[in-house]
Amino acid sequence: MKKVIYLLPLLVLVLLVSDSCDFGDQANKFATDSFSASQPSIQVQESKVICGADRLSYFVPKLTGKKVGLVANQSSRVQDKHLLDSLLELEVNVKRIFSPEHGFRGDADAGAKIDDQIDSKTGLPLISLYGDKRRPRQEDLQDLDIIIFDIQDVGVRFYTFLSTLHYVMDACAEYHVELILLDRPNPNGHYVDGPMRREGYQSFVGMHPVPVVYGMTIGEYAHMINGEGWLANGRNCQLEVVELKNYGHKTTYRLPIKPSPNLPTLKAVMLYPSLCFFEPTILSIGRGTQKQFQVIGHPDWVGHNFEFTPVPTPGAMKPKLQGQLCKGMDLTTLSESTIKSWGAINLDYIVSAYADLKDQHDFFTSPSFFDKLAGSDELRKQLVDGMSAREVVASWQEDLEAFKTVRKKYLLYE
């Protein structure tokens, strides 16, 4: 067989440079209260990170003579080319594509059902894992030897790609298919914070008993799923993680492509753990604008000068408060380095909004979904009881220390 030498240039990513600390008044009010005083500053650094997908010369030879399935979306890139295209050019026998929430091209609305289809570019069958099924069936895997999993995670428990990973691992374990996971950096990998998911609150936005922000890459997390016995019936997935190079948990990493339609910038990704709690409430967090997960607002939230109006946009065709003028906060005025230096979830925003609006409206539009995001009903009850952000954060600490002990067993990077 003719030998092919794969020449792989290093993927050079230009990382964050600390920008201006000129905050808007309202954003600054909450940005400096509970977090920056007690959290050490994270030094911004430049690093040349090599992602698992970039290491073609390492893992492609393992695919020789194998029938391959690919779990991927728009974030599955080898520099400026999609991983699928790279594999096909190298004559890897890709038989089937599996797609998560938002679809293979990453343009479907959040929560939108996605049907099986044919990929228009390659003609390959595309199996949706966010439609009628969320776990591959036996017939989906029966002629496959290896599954390649390559999706950019953002390090937050309720980001549903973790649940897709769980179900893919479980199916691979049951039907004896090897899984090769191509690791990617976690843009929120420098801290661990938030309430734990309690027993009885398992859902697709909270599969495992971990805090909201778990400080692990998706490869490290996959090892934890195996190691902690979270797969059904004590199964263990035959797993190989293609590790990152030149990466540590304090490495600042700028995502080269948005991981989902409503996380358009690094600021949005960093604010996501703090603002997602607003989803099952009366407030908008910018879906239907160009500042998704970077603004907070409601028509009746008086005392705020910033205004925005949600309208149908790709990825949010029916946004909350569509066509209504919302008053609130513009968090794009915060610098990326400031948000990162919190090293914690910022609860001040939701504590303030609840205090201001609870007497005018039923604040929680779906208490049960809020509880699923939080991992239990504890956070919602703490807000109703009027606890301060500091008091709520203090209530998490014992659980977080216990989780960090478990987490430590699975860390691959400094």
pLDDT tens-digit profile, the chain (414 residues): 444 433 333 333 333 323 222 223 344 444 433 333 333 333 334 458 999 999 999 999 999 999 999 999 999 999 889 999 999 999 999 999 999 887 677 555 555 666 778 888 889 999 999 878 999 999 999 999 999 999 999 999 999 999 999 999 999 999 999 999 999 999 999 999 999 999 999 999 999 999 999 999 999 999 999 999 999 999 999 999 999 999 999 998 889 999 998 999 999 999 999 999 999 999 999 999 999 999 999 999 999 999 999 999 988 999 999 999 999 999 999 999 999 999 999 999 999 999 999 999 999 999 999 999 999 999 999 999 999 999 999 999 999 999 999 999 999 998
What pLDDT does residue 47 have? Answer: 54
> What single letter denotes the amino acid at residue 45?
Q
What pLDDT does residue 314 have? Answer: 87
What pLDDT does residue 116 have? Answer: 76
Residue ranges matching CATH 3.40.50.12170 in the chain: 52-252
Residue ranges matching CATH 3.90.1150 in the chain: 25-35+258-407
What pLDDT does residue 29 have? Answer: 46
What pLDDT does residue 21 have? Answer: 26
Give the chain's length. 414
148 has which bridge partners?
70, 180
Alpha carbon separation from 142 to 67, 126, 139, 262, 333 (Å, rounded): 10, 15, 5, 35, 51
What pLDDT does residue 315 have? Answer: 83
Eight-class DSSP state of 107: -
d(CA 116, CA 135): 13
What pLDDT does residue 182 have? Answer: 98
Q: Tell me which CATH code domain 25-35+258-407 carries.
A: 3.90.1150
What pLDDT does residue 351 have? Answer: 98
Instruction: Please enumerate in sequence order all residues whose Cβ is within 8 A of that of 335, keeping only pairs 6 or more positions apart, or say none.
Output: 18, 19, 20, 21, 23
What pLDDT does residue 120 have? Answer: 81
d(CA 282, CA 344): 24
Alpha carbon separation from 26 to 64, 296, 328, 351, 397 (Å, rounded): 57, 11, 9, 14, 28
CATH number 3.40.50.12170 is the correct assignment for the domain at 52-252:
yes
CA dihedral for 199, 136, 409, 73, sign (positive or negative): negative
